[in-house]
């Protein structure tokens, strides 16, 4: 798509262009002029300078969930929404959280030396000081002490622990040292705990986000030696939200699970370390040299241990019920006010959080200003728009999950979509994850947002990068048709606030942001100075994120027929299933498990799922064609029926029984991996069966997937029958 001449003139003058792509999906011809006028007012409003000022204010103090600073920030965001003319209120929940009372880690052998749990301040960076900061700790980390020899476990994956066992290096009664990366930190703690370790230290290796990836802060964007990655160690592949109310909302009088019965939080102590402090341990480890792919970036050969190094750690937490505060702003709909389009961003941070999450909060506030400007033109959405500023995301998606569980019936009946913006900017490259039914919407909207520096649109730049990545990674088919590129959004796993909406309730969800080199994640250096120097010095991409965010909301809320399109859903699922089938072939060639046991054969029958995908694809294409006919004919008498049916298609993928071993996760097509935490497992039940080499589980989960796909196909067929 090329910008139209008028759009180019506006861009040259510093104003955003009018929408220049195809007519947005789902709008009757009679609705388009009013929508275009409102979108012009919206797009003209977000400002880089205003986003800069928002971010500077939002990052003035650290604001960990459950602290007075975070409550004050909730009130600030609420008041700004109200100043824009939006209805806005605070929704409080009392949830189980922890803050550190006393945390220490020290070498006790071969020398006595305290290990620093705070960063070294950097001259000229006022936010790198200790003012207002907790020492480094893990959210939901267990209280307790541990002392013993140290064993290095690479990334702390199940395969890494199996490798240690094969090398004759037990972890029982010892302290594990693992590096961040590959899998979610909480799963590293879970694995160490299940294998008998007495404690675990997790550090950031310079090979992963430090000097081997680029210049370190303050000279570059990557992690300096003293930077510490904080974070939650909740076992987030198994449930989200308040662990004292697993599966139900933390409302007044709710039943509470005591700490010693919570099965999704650790029971052994853990702490994060910088690589400067981890080096003091790693240099003293003995045992065999690590496998080549375990070697990190510090300038010496790593060993698995044990050896001369022994560590004592003591973690004492102030834990219990603490208040958190979601802020919900509302733009009421006119024709179907019960239908909800939800924009979400979390507000809490481990530190000042310029990237995570305050860049997203700044973009949300700019999107809200733009929506207020559209309202001033007389525009009103057909459906209600909610802007949600969540609390306690960092601990385990707590604020969004409690709110979603609290309103599960309403959301199941009426939610159109959830659009998430967590860290909106670390660089210039748009990245989008979501369900395939929202692909066409985000592609259209992104084509109408100008690329701030390179010309064209952010959508064009996104598609070019996706095509180039596909060309590098697409498998070559020696037999069969030559593969062709089709733009897809990335599948969603977990790690941000879309999780409760998609994985628990089946609400179509998107997550996007602009990416670039970013090595200061969850450290005190994730602050305004870092953003101003490296992430988005001109704050142009903050404004671009706001424009994309608001366009998505306006089109979801105002289209005569909701822009959920299902023709590409089966194609995306087939690609994911092909990847799973290739993995089955790979595992079939593996003669034995790492512990020497004979592998169980797994020769699954993918035929029923493939046949169901064919049925879903045909039904989706027919529904899309019917919607096009309905829109072209402006059949307002049928639009409400089409909308009601389209809203329920994604819900068909939700199983009331949930996934194997984790019933809170109920979407049978998308979930985080049990061994990844963040990364998605498409067809999670089938993937679990493949990982476990369990034919009976595969058969059961295959039947569940086929039932869900056929239920969705039937709902799409109902749409197709509206305009045959």
| Range with the poorest average pLDDT among 224-228, 391-395, 467-471 | 467-471
How do residues 585-594 score in pLDDT, each as one tens digit? Answer: 877 666 555 4
Q: What is the C-alpha R_g of the chain?
A: 25
Q: How far apart are the C-alpha atoms of 435 and 253, rounded to whole Å?
A: 36
Angle between helices 360-376 and 48-58 (to 10 degrees): 130
Quick one: what percent of the chain has pLDDT higher than 90?
90
Q: How far apart are the C-alpha atoms of 4 and 275, rounded to whole Å?
A: 51
How do residues 660-676 score in pLDDT, each as one tens digit? Answer: 999 999 999 999 999 98
User: Which residue, 359, 331, 343, is CA-closest to 549?
Assistant: 343
596 pLDDT tier (thresholds 50, 70, 90): very low
pLDDT for 265 beyond 80:
yes
Mean pLDDT of 48-54: 98
Mean pLDDT of 241-260: 97
User: Which residue, 354, 352, 330, 357, is CA-closest to 341?
Assistant: 330
Annotated catalytic residue 393: yes
How do residues 500-546 score in pLDDT, each as one tens digit? Answer: 999 999 999 999 999 999 999 999 999 999 999 999 999 999 999 99
**Against a cut of 0.85, is the pTM above it?**
yes
Catalytic residue among 393, 394, 460, 650: 393
Q: Report, at the CATH architecture level, how domain 97-321 is classified.
A: 3-Layer(bba) Sandwich (3.50)
How do residues 481-490 score in pLDDT, each as one tens digit? Answer: 677 889 999 9
Q: How far apart are the C-alpha atoms of 653 and 437, rounded to whole Å?
A: 13
Class in CATH terms, 569-722: mainly alpha
Report the largest interatomic distance among the alpha carbons of the chain, rounded to a whole angstrom. 81
Sequence ranges of the domains in the chain: 5-95+328-558, 97-321, 569-722
Give me the count of residues in the chain. Answer: 724
pLDDT score, position 10: 34
pLDDT score, position 139: 98
pLDDT for 21 beyond 60:
no
Helix (H) / strand (E) element for 148: namely strand 144-152
477 pLDDT tier (thresholds 50, 70, 90): low
How do residues 404-426 score in pLDDT, each as one tens digit? Answer: 999 999 999 999 999 999 999 99
677 pLDDT tier (thresholds 50, 70, 90): confident
pLDDT for 20 beyond 50:
no
Q: Report, at the CATH architecture level, how domain 5-95+328-558 is classified.
A: 3-Layer(aba) Sandwich (3.40)
The alpha carbon dihedral of 651, 657, 659, 662 has a sign of: positive
Mean pLDDT of 447-457: 95
Q: How far apart are the C-alpha atoms of 583 and 676, rounded to whole Å?
A: 16
Exposure b/e, 109-129, CB count within 10 A at least 16 = b: beeeeebbbbbeebeebebbe
User: Which residue, 102, 202, 191, is CA-closest to 150?
Assistant: 202
Average pLDDT value for the chain = 94
687 pLDDT tier (thresholds 50, 70, 90): very high
Q: How far apart are the C-alpha atoms of 424 and 478, rounded to whole Å?
A: 41
3-state secondary structure string across 309-371: CEEEEEEEEEEEEEEEEEEEEEECCCCEEEEEEEEEEECCCCCCCHHHHHHHHHHHHHHHHHH
How do residues 375-385 score in pLDDT, each as one tens digit? Answer: 999 999 999 99
pLDDT score, position 723: 87
pLDDT for 233 beyond 50:
yes
Q: What separation in angstroms does the CA of 364 have from each of 344, 354, 433?
A: 8, 14, 18
pLDDT score, position 586: 79
């Amino acid at each position: 798509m090329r910008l139209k001449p008028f759009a180019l003139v506006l861009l040259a003058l510093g104003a955003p262009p009018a929408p220049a792509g195809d007519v947005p999906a789902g709008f009757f011809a009679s609705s388009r002029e009013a929508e275009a006028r409102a979108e012009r007012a919206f797009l003209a409003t977000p400002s880089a300078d205003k986003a800069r000022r928002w971010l500077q204010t939002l990052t003035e103090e650290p604001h960990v969930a459950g602290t007075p600073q975070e409550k004050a920030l909730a009130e600030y965001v609420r008041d700004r929404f109200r100043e824009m003319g939006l209805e806005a209120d605070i929704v409080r929940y009392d949830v189980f959280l922890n803050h550190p009372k006393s945390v220490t880690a020290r070498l006790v052998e071969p020398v006595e030396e305290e290990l620093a749990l705070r960063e070294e301040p950097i001259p000229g960076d006022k936010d790198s000081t200790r003012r207002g900061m907790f020492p480094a700790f893990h959210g939901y980390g267990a209280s307790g002490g541990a002392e013993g020899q140290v064993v290095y476990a690479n990334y702390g994956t199940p395969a890494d622990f199996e490798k240690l066992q094969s090398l004759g290096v037990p972890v029982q009664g010892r302290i594990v040292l693992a590096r961040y990366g590959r899998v979610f930190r909480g799963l590293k703690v879970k694995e160490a705990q299940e294998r008998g370790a007495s404690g675990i230290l997790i550090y950031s290796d310079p090979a992963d986000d430090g000097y081997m990836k680029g210049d370190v802060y303050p000279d570059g964007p990557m992690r300096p030696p003293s930077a510490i990655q904080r974070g939650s160690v909740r076992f987030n592949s198994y449930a989200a939200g308040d662990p004292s109310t697993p599966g139900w909302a933390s409302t007044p009088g709710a039943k509470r699970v005591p700490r010693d019965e919570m099965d999704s939080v650790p029971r052994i102590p853990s702490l994060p370390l910088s690589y400067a402090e981890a080096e003091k341990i790693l240099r003293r480890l003995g045992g065999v040299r690590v496998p080549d792919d375990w070697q990190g970036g510090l300038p010496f050969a790593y060993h698995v241990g044990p050896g001369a190094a022994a560590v004592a750690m003591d973690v004492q937490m102030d834990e219990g019920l603490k208040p958190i505060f979601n802020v919900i702003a509302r733009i009421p709909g006119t024709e179907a006010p019960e239908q909800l389009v939800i924009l979400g961003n979390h507000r809490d941070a481990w530190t000042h959080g310029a990237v995570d999450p305050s860049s997203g909060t700044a973009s949300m506030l700019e999107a809200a200003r733009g929506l207020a400007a559209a309202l001033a033109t007389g525009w009103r959405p057909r459906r209600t728009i909610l802007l949600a500023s969540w609390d306690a995301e960092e601990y385990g998606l707590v604020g969004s999950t409690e709110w979603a569980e609290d309103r599960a019936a309403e959301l199941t009946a009426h939610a159109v979509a959830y659009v998430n913006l967590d860290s909106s900017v670390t660089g210039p490259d748009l990245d989008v994850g979501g369900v395939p039914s929202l692909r066409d919407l985000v592609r259209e909207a992104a084509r109408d947002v100008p690329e701030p520096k390179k010309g064209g649109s952010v959508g064009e730049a996104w598609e070019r990068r996706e095509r180039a990545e596909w060309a590098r990674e697409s498998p070559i088919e020696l037999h069969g048709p030559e593969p062709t590129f089709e733009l897809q959004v990335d599948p969603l796993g977990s790690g941000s606030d879309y999780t409760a909406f998609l994985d628990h309730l089946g609400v179509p969800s998107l997550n996007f942001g602009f990416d670039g080199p970013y090595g200061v994640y969850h450290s005190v250096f994730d602050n305004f100075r870092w953003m101003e120097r490296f992430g988005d010095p001109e704050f142009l991409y903050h404004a671009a994120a706001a424009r994309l965010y608001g366009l998505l909301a306006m089109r979801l809320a105002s289209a005569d027929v909701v822009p959920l399109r299902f023709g590409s859903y089966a194609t995306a699922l087939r690609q994911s299933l092909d990847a799973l089938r290739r993995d089955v072939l790979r595992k079939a060639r593996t003669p034995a498990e790492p512990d020497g046991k004979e592998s169980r054969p797994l020769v699954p029958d993918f035929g029923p799922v493939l046949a169901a995908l064919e049925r879903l694809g045909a039904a989706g294409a027919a529904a899309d064609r019917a919607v096009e006919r309905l829109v072209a004919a402006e059949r307002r008498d049928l639009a409400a029926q089409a909308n009601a049916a389209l809203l329920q298609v994604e819900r068909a993928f939700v199983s009331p029984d949930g996934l194997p071993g984790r019933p809170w996760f109920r979407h049978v097509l998308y979930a985080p991996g049990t061994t990844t935490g963040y990364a998605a497992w498409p067809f999670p039940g089938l993937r679990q069966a493949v990982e476990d080499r369990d034919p009976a589980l595969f058969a059961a989960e295959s039947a569940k997937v086929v039932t869900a796909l056929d239920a969705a196909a039937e709902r799409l067929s109902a749409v197709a029958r509206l305009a045959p």
